[in-house]
Amino acid sequence: MIRQYKYPPVYEWKSLCERPLQNQENLSEQVKSVFDKVKINGDKALKFYTEKFDKVSLEDLKVSESEIIEAEQSVSDELKSAIKIASENIRKFHNSQQEEKKIIETTKGAFCWRESRVIESIGIYIPGGTAPLFSTVLMLGIPANIAGCKNIALCSPPDKNGKINPTILFTANLIGIKNIFKVGGSQAIAGLTFGTETIPKVDKIFGPGNQYVTSAKQLALNYNLAIDIPAGPSEVLVIADESSVPDFVAADLLSQAEHGTDSQVILLSNSEKIINEINIEIKKQLKDLPRKEIAEIALQNSKSILLNSIDEAIQFSNIYAPEHLILAVENAENFTDKIKNAGSVFLGNYSPESAGDYASGTNHTLPTNGFAKNYSGVSLDSFVKKITFQNITKKGIQNIGKTIELMAEAEELMAHKNAVSVRLKYLENES
Ligand X SMILES: NC(=O)c1ccc[n+]([C@@H]2O[C@H](COP(=O)([O-])OP(=O)(O)OC[C@H]3O[C@@H](n4cnc5c(N)ncnc54)[C@H](O)[C@@H]3O)[C@@H](O)[C@H]2O)c1
Ligand Y SMILES: N[C@H](CO)Cc1c[nH]c[nH+]1
Positions annotated as catalytic residues are: 323-324
* Contacts with ligand X, 298-327, as mask; x by CB under 6 A: -------------------------x----
200-239: which residues touch ligand Y (CB under 6 A)?
A: 234
As beta bridge partners, residue 114 has 388
**324 or 417: CB nearest Zn ion:** 324
Beta bridge partners of 121: 151
Stretch of residues binding ligand Y (CB under 6 A), selected from 37-45, 59-67, 129-137, 199-207: 129-137
Beta strands 110-118 and 384-392, pairing class: antiparallel
Residue span binding ligand X (CB under 6 A) among the ranges 273-281, 358-366, 383-391, 404-412? 358-366
Q: How far is it, in rounded angstroms, from Cα 314 to Cα 106?
A: 39
**Distance linking the first and last C-alpha atoms of the chain:** 82
According to DSSP, residue 343 is labeled: S
Listed ranges 12-20, 203-211, 264-272, 344-352: which one lies at the site for ligand X (CB under 6 A):
203-211
Residue 48 in contact with ligand X, rule: CB under 6 A = no
Q: Does 132 bind ligand X (CB under 6 A)?
A: no
Residue 135 touches which of Zn ion, ligand Y, ligand X, none (Cβ within 5-8 Å per kind): ligand Y
The CA distances from residue 45 to 55, 256, 287, 344, 424, in Å, are 14, 33, 42, 38, 61
Q: Which is nearer to ligand Y, 193 or 302 (CB)?
A: 302
**Residue 259 is labelled as binding a ligand:** yes
Q: Is 81 annotated as a binding residue?
A: no
Nearer of residues 184 and 343 to Zn ion, judged by Cβ = 343
Kindly list the residues in this chain that would bind Zn ion in the complex (CB under 5 A). 357
Residue from 87, 171, 234, 362 binding ligand X (CB under 6 A): 234
Closer to ligand X at the Cβ: 103 or 131?
Answer: 131
Minimal CA–CA distance to 182: which of 203, 161, 202?
161
Q: Does residue number 260 form part of the binding site for ligand X (CB under 6 A)? A: yes
Pairing of the two strands 110-118 and 104-107: antiparallel
Measured distance CA(310)–CA(299) in Å, rounded: 23
Q: CA gyration radius for the chain?
A: 25
State the pairing for strand pair 104-107/151-156.
unpaired
Assess 369 for contact with ligand X (CB under 6 A). Answer: no
**DSSP E strands, 84-164:** 104-107, 110-118, 121-125, 151-156
Q: Estimate the crossing angle of helix 272-287 against helix 292-300, to 10 degrees.
A: 150
Q: Name the closest residue to Zn ion (Cβ).
A: 357
Contact 202, 214 (CB under 8 A): no
Query: Of the two residues 185 and 401, which places its CB atom closer to ligand X in the complex?
Result: 185
Note whether 292 and 286 are within 8 A (CB).
Answer: yes
- Of 133, 180, 213, 220, the one binding ligand Y (CB under 6 A) is 133
CB of 262 to ligand X, least distance (A): 6
Sign of the dihedral through C-alpha 56, 60, 61, 63: negative
- Judged by the rule CB under 6 A, the positions of this chain that interact with ligand X are 53-54, 127-131, 133, 136, 157, 184-186, 208-210, 212-213, 231-234, 259-260, 263, 323, 364-366, 368
Task: Give binding residues for Zn(2+) as ranges.
Answer: 256, 259, 357, 416
- Judged by the rule CB under 6 A, the positions of this chain that interact with ligand Y are 133, 135-136, 234, 256, 323, 357, 364
